[in-house]
Amino acid sequence: MTYVWLTDLDSALLTAGVPFTPIDAHPSDATGSPTWRTRGRPEGTGDGFFPDGVVCHHTASPEGTSAATDIAVILSGNGSAPGPISQLFIGRDAVLYLLAAGRANHAGSGMRPGVDFTCTDQNARNVGIEVGNNGVGESWSDAVCELYGATVAALLEWYGWPTSSVYLHNTVGPPSQGCNSKIDPAGPWTRQRDLTSQTWHLPTWQAFVDEHRGAPAPLPPESESMPTPIGFITCNAGTVGHHVDGSEYRSPVDGTTFYVMPGGGLQWMRTPEQLATKMSVLSQAGLRTDTWSTPVGDPDVFGILTGTKPG
């Protein structure tokens, strides 16, 4: 039985310039793993784990559910699907969380169109991405959709998978196949704003993902003097830094906060709510939430900004 550990998921995201938060030791983790790199269902489970595709989901959690709560549910799992329930998770706060390198309980039994002709172990063949949404009418923000598309594209680029290997949970588990019955992801999103609780159109989603594929963004420069601990910096209005695309950005207001990612990258905390959620998740995971103030300094000494620029 083949079982691989995708311990390079962080490299896939960093190379594509996609910001993320790793979740290591966590009180809700059903596996008790000390790090995301060793988290996954036990070797010998199902048909193993040797993915060559991605299945996209929504959590079905009530609207307004925090990222911290969704993460706890994904890591703990339930009686029929022990955790972890996915390798990656995107919260309603438009933050990507890296949860597991091994097999996860996200897709169950299903059939990939044109690939499988009988019910097959989809958890063995696909990485799963859960995203916070109730799936029955909650609108998907553009920020979440953009991050979702960029995340899937980063995996395709890194592992050399075609866009045709991107699936919706519904497309591998619709009622007509008799394997299971799923609707996710569903609801109004960037390219199908007229939806209510209907499932997304797979070709439209694949095209959206394809738009996010391309040359990888440059990595933050390495420097022996660059602080690397996880934490936060605050900057005054007008403080100048640089984006991975080489352009400048300026902190829009006093107290603009950035999250220092592992490896030295920066992620802008767009709202107080996003900052509070990020700190809560890190604290629950036992990770540091140090805060540094750089009122007139150069944030580039901490890293290069990825994702949306302030302003």
Query: Where residue 153 sits, what CATH number does that domain have?
Result: 3.40.80.10
What is the C-alpha separation between 41 and 103, in angstroms, rounded?
5
Within a domain: 220: no
Does 225 reside within a domain? no
Q: Please indicate, yes or no, if residue 3 is contained in any of the structural domains.
A: no
Q: Are residues 126 and 272 in the same domain?
A: no
Flag whether 4 is in a domain.
Answer: no
Whether 94 and 191 map to the same domain: the answer is yes
Residue 226 has pLDDT above 50, yes or no: no
Mean pLDDT of the chain: 87
Judge whether 124 and 48 are in contact, CB under 8 Å: yes
* Residues 297, 184 share a domain: no
- 59 with 89, same domain: the answer is yes
Same domain? 59 vs 165: yes
The pLDDT value given to residue 245: 72
Residue 42 inside a domain? The answer is yes
Comparing CA positions, the residue from 98, 92, 54 lying closest to residue 210 is 54
Residues 188 and 249 occupy one common structural domain: no
- Res. 125 pLDDT band, cuts 50 70 90: very high
Question: For residue 262, what pLDDT is reported?
Answer: 63
Q: Identify whether 222 is part of a domain.
A: no
Asked if the model's pLDDT at residue 268 lies above 90, the reply is: no
Range of the domain at 254: 231-306
| For residues 237-265, average pLDDT | 83
Which tens digit of pLDDT belongs to each residue from 282-301?
Answer: 777 666 677 777 655 678 87
41 plus 125 within the same structural domain = yes
Does the pLDDT at position 59 exceed 80? yes
Residue 207 lies in a domain: yes
38 and 178 inside one domain: yes
Residue 140 has pLDDT above 90, yes or no: yes
Average of pLDDT values for 201-214? 91
The dihedral built from the CA positions of residue 39, 42, 44 and 45, taken in this order, carries a sign that is negative
Host H or E run for residue 70:
helix 67-76
Q: How many domains does the chain have?
A: 2
User: Percent of the chain at pLDDT above 90?
Assistant: 59
CA dihedral 128, 134, 139, 142 (to 10 degrees): -30
pLDDT score of 223 more than 50: no
Same domain, 20 and 74: yes
- pLDDT at site 217: 41
Same domain, 299 and 156: no
Q: What pLDDT shows up at residue 176?
A: 62
* 164 and 277, same domain (yes or no): no
pLDDT of 218 higher than 80:
no
In a domain, 311, yes or no: no
Q: Which of 110-114, 116-120, 148-152, 178-182 has the lowest mean pLDDT?
A: 178-182
Burial (0-12, 13-18, 19+ Cβ within 10 Å), 142: exposed
**Pairing status of strand 96-98 against strand 88-90:** antiparallel
Q: Alpha-carbon distance 148 to 33, whole Å?
A: 26
Least confident of 106-115, 123-132, 157-166, 298-307: 298-307
| Peptide bond between residue 227 and the one before it cis (omega within 30 degrees of 0) | no
Let me know whether 140 and 243 are in one domain. Answer: no
pLDDT of amino acid 297: 63
- Cα 6 to Cα 3, 31, 97, 194, 255: the distances in Å are 10, 17, 15, 37, 37
